[in-house]
Structure 1
């Protein structure tokens, strides 16, 4: 089981306050997106949850234990795929397991095949497109033993159609394995399509402005993007985020 508590997280750099009293929780099997304007500190918050950066104050609790300043407690995928250029696709996928002393080659090959990369298992990162590299990163995250996956704007560099294909692929992988996922994005449509819940962040100093439960049934497909209900939710969230940009 997974239960993550982000408790009163604040962060400042050179006396400039970036994050202010961030609080939220994630439960087993949830897909939760963190949505906020550019520069609101989304990636900073992710690095804190991932144990890569230390907060000015607050704590990160995973299953009743603090994981603050403990990298490796969750699976963290930054914006770039971060594949090792000297390792093949298969060896990159197995990296998280190897760190834990495991190597499930057969399962890795099955997931590589499902991702449409069967012909690239022995290829190297420089031989892959951007979408292919992202798929390799996702497979590595799913195969890693950590109970929670953090994905930091993984589709931001992809064109619209590739992005939609990757979103659907990610959902199919998540629905099969039911890992808990926190997904950072500034794209309202992407957050709506993927998530069970959306956490909307304010402008700096950043706090949780609103939490929104998404009612759309699963599995989801591309038709949802053009439905009236989807567009109404998109308008609502847009207005919420727009309000945070207006001068007080």
Structure 2
């Protein structure tokens, strides 16, 4: 699926990323965590082709995509829906740009997300959680096999955020696209991921890769289990070293 080989990036005299090598397998959910300023968003820009690395190569499904665009779908921190497009037209945007639209599948996914009654509504008529669900479905419907999610729930309140995490898992487990997910929340990374990549800072390198041991499907009770808290402590210890 996705492979980064010794990717480095500097801005002027400041080196942000140093020889980053990582792998995301087909259907795998991988989270990136690390201190603010550790280069997580820069890494996304490199994978998406918005920036070119100073050194290293990026591959997707065996094809080199270094400094090439159009190979990934992306969901930012804010929903970034077009205000003049209805919900159904927003979620079909990625497919539309590729020259094809699957209305039936889009409507079925919106119905599954509890948005069946608002498919013809506009973004200003939706709550924050509803907007994020629309943005996620738009990314999921895009034809690319890899999704990059950049702290998509950070602006939500705690209760809505927990609901969105559970909802995301329930939808993703049906479609099993590969996801690379940025978060500052250890709880969120542990609950959602198959694998967690911990970044250092100044410049960013990979401190450790942790295989998450929890079986799927997962539910909210996991967050309160002793095993979950033990793994959370292990990750905190790695970050603080």
In the TM superposition, residue 114 of structure 1 has moved relative to its aligned partner by 1.0
Q: Give the equivalent residue in structure 2 for 1:246.
A: none
Q: How does 1:225-240 map to 2 (within 5 A)?
A: 225-240=223-238
Determine whether 1:219 maps to 2:225. Answer: no
Alpha-carbon distance in structure 1 between the residues aligned to 2:56 and 2:22: 12
2:83 to 85, 89, 94: 85
In the TM superposition, residue 135 of structure 1 has moved relative to its aligned partner by 0.5
TM-score w.r.t. structure 2 length?
Answer: 0.98
In the TM superposition, residue 87 of structure 1 has moved relative to its aligned partner by 0.7
Q: Give the equivalent residue in structure 2 for 1:38.
A: 36
Alpha-carbon distance in structure 1 between the residues aligned to 2:236 and 2:154: 18
In the TM superposition, residue 194 of structure 1 has moved relative to its aligned partner by 0.2
Decide whether the 8 Å contact of 2:78 with 2:155 is kept in 1.
no
Give SS of 1:70's match: coil
Give SS of 1:223's match: helix
In the TM superposition, residue 184 of structure 1 has moved relative to its aligned partner by 0.6
Q: Give the equivalent residue in structure 1 for 2:183.
A: 185
Alpha-carbon distance in structure 1 between the residues aligned to 2:132 and 2:228: 26
In the TM superposition, residue 40 of structure 1 has moved relative to its aligned partner by 0.7
Q: Give the equivalent residue in structure 2 for 1:95.
A: 93
Determine whether 1:196 maps to 2:194. Answer: yes
1:11 to 9, 30, 34: 9
Determine whether 1:53 maps to 2:18. Answer: no
Q: How does 1:9-158 map to 2 (within 5 A)?
A: 9-158=7-156
Moved more, 207-216 or 67-76: 67-76
In the TM superposition, residue 140 of structure 1 has moved relative to its aligned partner by 0.7
Please give the root-mean-square deviation of Cα atoms over the aligned residues, in Å.
0.9
Give SS of 1:45's match: helix
Give SS of 1:23's match: strand
Instruction: List 4+ stretches of structure 1 deviating above 6 A.
Output: none
TM-score w.r.t. structure 1 length?
Answer: 0.95
1:162 to 160, 163, 167: 160
Alpha-carbon distance in structure 1 between the residues aligned to 2:83 and 2:54: 35
Alpha-carbon distance in structure 1 between the residues aligned to 2:206 and 2:131: 32
Determine whether 1:241 maps to 2:205. Answer: no
Decide whether the 8 Å contact of 2:3 with 2:22 is kept in 1.
yes
Alpha-carbon distance in structure 2 between the residues aligned to 1:63 and 1:155: 28
Gaps of 5+ in 1: 244-248
